[in-house]
Every structure is written in structure tokens, then in C-alpha cells.
Amino acid sequence: MKHEKHEGAGIERKLHNAIEDKLIPLEPLDLGKIRSIDGLVRAMSKTAFTGRQLGEAADVLEAMARDQDCFVVMTLAGAMTVAKQGLIISELIDRGIVNAIVSTGALMAHGLVEATGRSHFRYNPDVPDTELYEQGYNRVYDTLEPEQNLDDVQEVMAHILEGWDHNEIMCSYKLNHAIGAHLAKRDKDQRGILRSAYEKGVPVFVPAFTDSELGLDVALSNRLRESTGRHRLRFDPFEDLEHFAATLLRQKRLGIFTIGGGVPRNWSQQFGPFIELRHRRMGENVPLKRYHYGLRICPEPVYWGGLSGSPYSEAISWGKFVPPAEGGMFGEVFVDATVGLPLIVAAVLERLGPNKSSNGNASKVKKSAKK
């Protein structure tokens, strides 16, 4: 132990030995020793900054996937399907790692474009946005969504909505289930989030449903129904809330995997306060539940004050998460999800082994879908 005296302060401090203090040493990232994506991610976890965050995030996702009692909710915001990340999400569903989806409506709409065999295209920055509008191209940062794609999606929606019984109240998870059934029957060679969700019994919730192309398609359908003297379709978002809460109440342990933030993240996280309020204000005999695991990929900083950038430590104060002192396990990666998501998921899939579902999750999905 080295002694060092500070000039002027009159204070003598004792310099510790890092090995004796059992600090964890970092390791140089040696690319010559890396043979797989998982090897790279594990090596990154022994470095610093965002690299370490990414490596530790993979450990959290692996823990969620291997926990037989954990029901995993994945929340999606941002243009992830436009950015061609949809099949990663489908794989997580197909492998039984993700048991419920909460998403923006736009993300599902653009995913429906992809699932019906249509394409998105690279944006040419030399073409001004005014010209893109005239040509029928909608720009999402560096990618184009042809308006014709959305017209084609409307035809799919029109077919589904035409067969909807007006006596049955609509909500997002029911409609997404119907879309998935249509895709499974019609486009047998196309993979997609809603098709995988339908086939695996995974509910897909869109809390801000009217804020999407799908919502506008329902609105247009209702206007058409009215003009031809037919009953309008009734949409009740509280059907989604109650079904989501009932599904999570049946689970032993909960995990959440968040891409971005926004409404999907907040809507999913407010499950804990909703149950607590039912218990405290209404006297309901319901178990108080919070998320045990949390993993989020989002570059938004905390000091902007929005929910997208808020850390899990803040959410603990709202009763949404189990504190680490009580076993809570969290990972937070401040990086573009088109970089972080493929690396993290690929590493975890390597750990789980080829074509194997994570333990226990498949049966949990079937259980949740029956009720």
C-alpha cells in the first residue's frame, strides 16, 4: 500500500492495489483471436464505453432467453422495418425469445410492405424532397418508401377489414392477429413480424394505433362504410390494455427488450403502476409485478428529459422495475439500433445454438395465446 501526501491539504491518502481490491481488469480487443460474432461481442464487454455496454447487453438478453420463467416483451419504435431489421425481430419471435410485441403503427405498416414482397430503396441525396413528393417517394432519412407500396398495403387491409364482423370490437392485437393470419395463408414464402407473431401466438400491440398508415386505412374503411350505409367498425384501445395486463399477470417473471423508446416503451412499462393502482385505489387482489430484466438500445441522452432516454434507475422510482439489489438485471446501450441490434442478437443466437428455441418460452407463448 503506497502512501502519498497532498501538498497544502495536509491529507495523506492510501493508494489501493487494484488486484487486492478485486477490480475487474479490462482486456485489449485482439481481433486475431476472434472467430465469431459472439467472440467479438464477448471481447467488447471487456473493453470500455459503448463497446462494453453492447457486450453486457448481450448477457442480459441471454439471461432473459434462458430464464424458463421469463416472459419477454419487445417494444419497437423508430423506422426499424424501413431500415431492414424486421427479420431479426421475426427470428426472435420464431426462436421463442420474444413473447409479446408492443410497437408503433408505422413500424408494423412498413413491415407489412416488406412481408408482402415489396421493397424499400436507397435515397439519392441529389434529388430534392419536393421532387420526391411529385414522384411518389416518401423519405425516411436515407431510405425511400414508394407511395405505391402503401397503396398496396391498403388493398391488403381492405380485404381484411371487409371480412370483419362489425359486432366485434376491434383493437390492435386482434387486427394484427388477423393480418398475420392473412399473410400466413397468402404469402407462404415471405417472412415478416406479423406472420411470425401469428404462427407463434405472440400478441402484437400498437398503443397509438391511429398514428399510422394502418390506422388511416381503418379510418378510410369506416368512411366508406358510412357512405354505403353500413355499420362502422368500433375500435377500443382499452381492449389492448386489458389483454396486455392480463397476459403479464399470468407470468412468473417479466423482461422487456426496448428498441428506441416513445409510446411503445412507456405503454409497456406502465403495466406495473397500472396493477399497483388497481390494488391500492380499487382494492383488487392482484399481485404487484414489475419487470425483472430490462434491455434497451437507444442513443437518446437522459438530459433531454424524454422517456426514450430515461434510464431504468429512474423507472424504478415509478414501480416499473425490480431494483438490482432485489435481483433486477439491466442493460442499456447508447447506440443506433441498426448497429446494436444485429450484433447483440447474433451473439445471443450463437450462444443458444443453431435452430434451438430458448428453454421454456415456446410453451409460455402457447399458454398466453389461449386466454
**Residue-wise pLDDT tens digits, 19-72:** 999 999 999 999 999 999 999 999 999 999 999 999 999 999 999 999 999 999
The pLDDT of residue 4 is 61
pLDDT band at 355 (very low <50, low <70, confident <90, very high): low
Identify the helix (H) or strand (E) that includes residue 151: helix 147-162
- Asked if residue 370 has pLDDT above 60, the reply is no
Burial 114-152 (b: 16+ CB within 10 A, else e): bbbebebeebeeeeeeeebeeeebbeeeebbbbeebbeb
Q: What is the pLDDT of residue 116?
A: 87
Q: Cβ-count burial of 70 within 10 angstroms (0-12 exposed, 13-18 middle, 19+ buried)?
A: buried
Average pLDDT over residues 12-18: 92
- Helices 193-200 and 172-186: crossing angle in degrees, nearest 10, is 100
Distance (Å, whole) CA 178 – CA 175 = 5
Q: Report the C-alpha gap between 74 and 101 in whole angstroms.
A: 5
Taking the C-alpha atoms of residue 351 and residue 58, their distance in angstroms, rounded to an integer, is 10
**Percent of the chain's residues with pLDDT above 70:** 92
| pLDDT above 90: residue 215 | yes
Beta-carbon neighbour count of residue 94 at 10 Å? 19
pLDDT digits 0-9 by tens, 140-167: 999 999 999 999 999 999 999 999 999 9
Report field, pTM of the whole predicted structure over 0.75: yes
Phi/psi of residue 253, nearest 5 degrees: -145, 150
Residue 15 confidence (pLDDT)? 95
For residue 12, the model assigns a pLDDT of 84
Q: Are the C-beta atoms of residues 144 and 132 closer than 8 Å to each other?
A: yes
Mean pLDDT of the chain: 92
What are the pLDDT digits (tens) for 310-335? 999 999 999 999 999 999 999 999 99
pLDDT at 303: 87
Whether residue 347 is predicted with pLDDT greater than 90 in this model: the reply is yes
Tell me the helices (H) and strands (E) count for the chain, helix number first. 15, 11
CA distance 256 to 22: 32
- Tens-digit pLDDT profile for residues 232-248: 999 999 999 999 999 99
Domain 68-340+351-370 class, CATH top level: alpha beta
Q: Are 139 and 131 in contact (CB under 8 A)?
A: no
The pLDDT of 183-204, averaged and rounded, is 92
pLDDT at residue number 365:
42
Sequence-distant contacts of 28-31: CB under 8 A, at least 24 apart:
none
Question: What kind and span of H or E run contains 257?
Answer: strand 253-259
pLDDT of residue 300: 87
pLDDT band at 85 (very low <50, low <70, confident <90, very high): very high
* 261-279 CB burial, b ≥16 within 10 A, e <16: bbbbbbbbbbbbebbbebe
In the chain, the amino acid numbered 44 is M
Cα 330-336-341 angle, rounded to 5 deg: 60
Residue 10 has pLDDT above 90, yes or no: no
Instruction: Give residue-wise pLDDT tens across range 234-285.
Output: 999 999 999 999 999 999 999 999 999 999 999 999 999 999 999 999 999 9
